[in-house]
Amino acid sequence: MPEKEDKSLEDATLFMSEYIATLMGSGVHTSRVVRNSRRMAESLGLEMQLSVFHRTVILNMEKGCYSSSKIVEVPTLPINFRYNSELSGLSWEAFDRRLPLEEIRSKYEKIVSAAPLNHNIVMLMAASANASFCRLFSGDWLSTLIVFIAAIVGFRVRRILTRRHTDFHLTILSSAFLVSLIASSSLLFNTTADIAITTSVLYLIPGVPLINGVIDIVEGYILCGFARLTKAMLIIFCIAIGLSLTLWIVKNGLI
Amino acid sequence: MIIIWKIIQDALFAAIAGMGFGAISNPPLKAFPYIALLAATGHSFRYTLMEYVGIDIALASLAASLLIGFGSLWLGGKSKYPITVPAIPALLPMVPGKLAYNTVFSIIMFLQTINVPEEHGKYLYMLMDNGFLSLTIIFFLALGVAVPIAIFPKKAYSLTRRRF
């Protein structure tokens, strides 16, 4: 294989492995990852084969009779719908305009280096969402306020624990325990305390992996789908344990 | 008049919930109005079906998720976002979180009442009830996104394509 060809195929494989890892790690459902990557590879004049698992992806790129393979480790990233949207758009742009690899890479870097939403705004929005849930479940205004405050504290604590690299499941369990414990202060008032306690932890429910898991299964990526659902079930289990600790303390019972 | 007010209230709180839970997943800023619109429409539709038409929560969730899925496909043509970007955050307020952890509670209580047959049976029933219901609802919510993709694959796959 000529050296130049060899280098370009290797560079393309390296870039594709990063692109795929970012998509998979940030919670894009599997068929979209495969479609976007295939389109991107096609734009570079390459053929691509993928074998996708939850934690690793086996990537093979071919040009004529030459091929380059890589096993890609999927990083654990926060779910990011902006990547989903913009990296998908990038694959179309690369395909339609036949962009060279350097230009695709610089656009990719620009997308992944953009700042995420402000943490405090996200925290207030998530707490408002949780408070809205309390209202949707017929909680009164006092319960709604308590749930709002509890969610803010829980969000903050979760961030601190994540920054200290505390075990992920332990972080979820502690957050659920703390949030529900704060929400249980509603028992001191004449308010809808049960609704406040049970809705306080709902913001921790892993809705995105649950829905992505089923989409994967329906679209034929059954292993990935079950892996996502299993991960989501483990999170739900941790939430339930955290919440049950509170319920044992304040109510001496679970249901 | 009270019914309409209740439906509007449901839509309003669902919009806040959709945007808030969606914000955790870092959607593009310009997607928030679409998320709010879809969450409000879908959730209030489910509420109406359950409260005033008498449809059960699972089928009502299916109808609402299909509304969100097709709505997201239609809006995606204008917004250039993939169908899942506004649809999944809009579906989040309907994810049966409470039923899901009630399922885990039932498992714990089932194990704790192994020597009390009458209680034991009750928790087994609760486990099946909550478990089946939450699984069915989650499956139906995901169908809301999968069905529009299956019916209109060409459109769904090229929503992020721009003209150059």
Tens-place pLDDT, residues B122-160: 999 999 999 999 999 999 999 999 999 999 988 888 888
Section A100-122 average pLDDT: 94
- Among B27, B40, B128, which Cα is nearest to B79's? B27
Q: How far apart are CA B81 and CA B75, in angstroms?
A: 8
Query: Do strands A47-52 and A66-73 pair parallel, antiparallel, or not at all (unpaired)?
Result: unpaired
Top mean-pLDDT range of A246-250, B16-20, B76-80? B16-20
User: Is B104 a residue whose pLDDT tops 90?
Assistant: no
pLDDT (0 to 100) of residue A255:
53
Q: Do B105 and A244 touch (CB under 8 A)?
A: yes
Q: In what order do the strands lie in the sheet with A47-52?
A: A47-52, A56-63, A66-73
Nearest to A133 among B17, B24, B138 (CB): B17
Q: What is the mean pLDDT of chain B?
A: 92
Helix (H, G, I), strand (E, B) or coil at A104: helix
Q: How far apart are CA B40 and CA B22, in angstroms?
A: 13
Nearest to B105 among A29, A85, A240 (CB): A240
Instruction: Report chain B residues whose CB lies below 8 A from the CB of A85.
Output: 27-28, 31, 80-82, 85, 160
Q: Is the sign of the CA dihedral A179, A162, A126, B140 positive or negative?
A: negative
Over residues A170-185, the pLDDT tens digits come to 999 999 999 999 999 9
- Among A226, A31, A53, A19, which Cα is nearest to B153's? A31
Contacts of B52 (CB under 8 A, 6+ apart): B3
A70 - beta bridge partners?
A59
- Among A249, A123, A120, which Cα is nearest to A197's? A249
Instruction: Report chain B residues whose CB lies below 8 A from the CB of A209.
Output: none
Instruction: Report chain A residues whose CB lies below 8 A from the CB of B142.
Output: 210-215, 218
User: Is B52 a residue whose pLDDT tops 90?
Assistant: yes
B160 touches chain A (CB under 8 A): yes
B109 touches chain A (CB under 8 A): yes
Count of residues making up chain A: 255
Which residue in this structure is represented by tokens 């993928």? A50
User: H helices of chain A, where?
Assistant: 3-25, 30-43, 81-97, 101-113, 119-136, 141-163, 168-183, 193-200, 207-218, 222-251
B133 touches chain A (CB under 8 A): no
A 129-168 → B contacts, CB under 8 A: 129-133, 135-137
What is the token pair recorded at A133? 């849930």
pLDDT class for A198, splitting at 50, 70, 90? Answer: confident
Q: How far is CA A217 from the centre of its chain?
A: 17
Q: How far apart are CA B82 and CA A89, in angstroms?
A: 9
Query: A48: part of which helix (H) or strand (E)?
Result: strand A47-52
> What interface predicted TM-score (ipTM) does this complex get?
0.87
Section B7-31 average pLDDT: 94
A126 touches chain B (CB under 8 A): yes
Which residue in this structure is represented by tokens 């339609």? A96
A49 - beta bridge partners?
A60
Domain ranges of chain B: 2-94+143-157
